[in-house]
Amino acid sequence: RGWRGFIDFFNWHDYTSWYPYGRDVGRTAFPGLPFMAAFIYHILHGIGIEVNALELAAMFPPIMAVIAILFAYLLGRELGGRPAGLLSAFFLAISSGHIERSLFGWFDDESIGIPLMLIGLWAYIQALKEGRSQKGVVAYAVIAGLSLGYMTASWGAARFPLAFIPLISVLLALLGRYRRELLTAFTITFSTYTLIALMVPKLGPGYLREITILAGFAAFIILLSFEASKFLPANIHAKRLPYYVILAGIAGFAVLAALGTAGLPGFKFLSVLIPSLRHDLPIFVSVAENQLSTWSILFRDLGFQSMLMIIGIYYALRRRRDEDIILSVFTILSVYFSSTMVRLSTLAAPSVAILAGLGLAELLIGFARSLRVVALKPRTRAVGIEYYLLTPLLIGAILLFSFTPGAYGIRYPLSGIDAAYAPPTIVSSSIPVRAEVPAWLKALEWMRENLPEDAVVASWWDYGYWITVLGNRTSIVDNATLNSTQIGEVGYAFMSNEETAYRVFRKLGATHVLIFVTHIPYGQQAGVLLGYGDEGKWIWMLRIAVQEGHQLNESEYMSPEGSPTSKFWTETTLGQLIPFKPYQISGQTYHVYSPSSLKHFKLVYASDEPYTSYAYVYIYELVD
């Protein structure tokens, strides 16, 4: 469609996803990421460089990661000079939390959201620099507003920096650091990103009522009261004016919330602040990256940098410059958010790397100074060699962790370098191994070449994007999880008996049903299900179906030990479609190949022969 596609995007109703109703893409998707990739694609073609669109999309995340690392250097340099900047860039480059979301092929909102967030923070700090000319303040504030505004058009998590800018601006004023440049920088930044947000169809004018934007208006009034207090008669009431405004603002928010005028962020965003809320929405919890982080996950994603970060925060807050306060508070908040949701480790990774870079730089500088002092002082007693070696050895041991390779049998990366040495999800068929497991690639190729063009494939929502984009066939649900009712219907079909499932799938317009199974073989006669496929996701099918009003008793399908009961294997459609059934062999439970014999589900494709792979994709045709 050429350049016209940018306009057509907003009128695009995609009937190849969420069949039969389709998807209003312009109003349900953020345009920032695809627009940036499309812009680069057209520019390259305009100057004669031929590039495949899918290849460009696959390369886009690593390119954006380089930009993020560059601005991590600039932010680190603001805190502690060039040494801190270089260490900040290095730490972000080896951060597991950052690498896992910027791998080749990870074409998702974070890939553009993180660099835009860092650009916005850097520009806002530059705008607040003491001694900056008025033109400089305005220029940097505009850059900050444009960056955060485009982030708003690209990623829902932009609500964090959009709420952070008003918060930190008011905090700086309360800490006695108010000056007119703060009001100017905030007003321009806030106005710019708000205007951009209002032009995003997914957000629209209603975004003005959300507390994220209302907080910006409140911050503007509070900062204005600080400015006004300087022109009032010098008395105690003039000094207290900003505090009266803050109290009035809190009361106003309470009233607006009670009246329902102030809109709250979506459930997903509220659950970041209050993690206990997510248990009321199974469809949200069913996504692995939305789970609460554990200490092991946090350490895996942030690593030793989390320890150096604490030292960095100490040095930053001891100086208490604007940039020190801004980045310290940002880091503390982002680490809290990453602890409430696994996915948000990528949000914390840059600021943790920057503060860790400052912490290590200060330690090394302090160590170098101590060596210099010792060298200049006349020796009165012998100094043990351990004095000179202890600090660099400790630092070296910590850094060595960043290069620790994984070992056989360890499913998760131990370091950032280890995390980088991983294939794209689809290449490994979503199994956490460093090898090509081509089950999905083969299945999608077969789907493109053999299924009728009007085929409609029903599957669990995890595979919808792959079916639609790479398989070039219509899907019923996908990873956007836009319609929980339709997802619940699919879950109910899988958890029902054959006749009910056939009726539900036909009602949804499906012609084929796809399932994904992971299984590790022990020889050629038995094996064990791994749980990465539908054999592990069925519990969420059940829970979401129950949430949507279907009567299913979880205890009848899951044993107290957490394994599927015999009812799951014999009375549910999914249990009967999975061709590996549990058998007791020598007192141990194994899963032995036993193909389905359901009359309405005819097997038309299997990605691999039994006991020859770790992953299997099975496609069944619905027959009368």
ω before 31 within 30° of 0 (cis)? no
Token look-up 């650091």 returns: 177
E strands present in 125-246: none
List the CATH number of the domain containing 575: 3.40.50.12610
Burial of residue 348 (number of CB atoms within 10 Å: 0-12, 13-18, 19+):
buried
For residue 130, being part of any structural domain is answered with no
* DSSP output for 248-301: HHHHHHHHHHHHT-SBPPPHHHHHHHSGGGGGG-HHHHTSGGGSPPPHHHHHHH
Burial of residue 58 (number of CB atoms within 10 Å: 0-12, 13-18, 19+):
middle
Closest CA to 84 of 315, 300, 298, 371: 315
Q: How far is CA 383 from CA 376, 380, 395, 541, in A?
A: 14, 9, 21, 67
Three-class SS state of 516: strand
Residues 6+ positions from 6 with CB-CB distance below 8 Å: 35, 38
Burial of residue 201 (number of CB atoms within 10 Å: 0-12, 13-18, 19+):
middle
Quick one: tokens of 369? 């100074």
Closest CA to 493 of 593, 601, 566: 601
For residue 177, being part of any structural domain is answered with no
For residue 208, being part of any structural domain is answered with no
Q: How far is CA 414 from CA 100, 164, 421, in A?
A: 12, 32, 11
Positions in the chain whose pLDDT score sits under 50 = 383, 387, 407-410
Element (H, E) at 474: strand 474-475
State residue 317 phi and psi, 5-degree precision: -70, -25
For residue 604, being part of any structural domain is answered with yes
Residues 6+ positions from 322 with CB-CB distance below 8 Å: 125, 128, 129, 130, 172, 177
Tell me the C-alpha distance between 137 and 223, whole Å: 16
Residues 6+ positions from 551 with CB-CB distance below 8 Å: none
One-letter identity of residue 34 = P
Quick one: tokens of 144? 């900050």
Report CA 144 to chain centroid distance, whole Å. Answer: 22
Tally of domains in the chain: 1
Element (H, E) at 580: strand 580-585
For residue 56, being part of any structural domain is answered with no
Residues 6+ positions from 405 with CB-CB distance below 8 Å: 414, 415, 417, 418, 421
Rg (alpha carbons) of the chain, rounded to whole number:
28
Neighbours of 409 (CB within 10 A): 5
Strands 512-522 and 526-529, how do they pair? antiparallel
Quick one: tokens of 392? 């660099």
Given this model, what pLDDT does residue 234 score? 66
For residue 221, being part of any structural domain is answered with no
Tell me the C-alpha distance between 515 and 517, whole Å: 7
User: Whole-prediction pTM value?
Assistant: 0.88
593-599 long-range CB contacts below 8 Å, 24 or more apart?
Answer: 596/620, 598/498, 598/573, 599/498, 599/623
Could you report the per-residue pLDDT of 393-428, keeping only the tens digit for each? 666 666 666 666 554 444 555 566 666 667 788 888
Q: Are 277 and 267 in contact (CB under 8 A)?
A: yes
Could you report the per-residue pLDDT of 30-63, keeping only the tens digit for each? 999 999 999 999 999 989 888 988 899 999 999 9
Burial of residue 313 (number of CB atoms within 10 Å: 0-12, 13-18, 19+):
buried
Token look-up 């063009």 returns: 453
For residue 255, being part of any structural domain is answered with no
Tell me the C-alpha distance between 289 and 277, whole Å: 16
Closest CA to 71 of 302, 323, 417, 350: 350
Q: Which domain does 606 fall in, by range? A: 439-622
For residue 446, being part of any structural domain is answered with yes
The count of C-alpha atoms lying within 13 angstroms of the C-alpha of 286, restricted to the half-sphere facing its C-beta, is 26
Please give the DSSP secondary-structure letter assigned to residue 206: G
* Sign of the four-CA dihedral 283, 289, 295, 298: negative
Q: Are 350 and 92 in contact (CB under 8 A)?
A: yes
Given this model, what pLDDT does residue 409 score? 44
Could you report the per-residue pLDDT of 70-92, keeping only the tens digit for each? 999 999 999 999 999 999 999 99
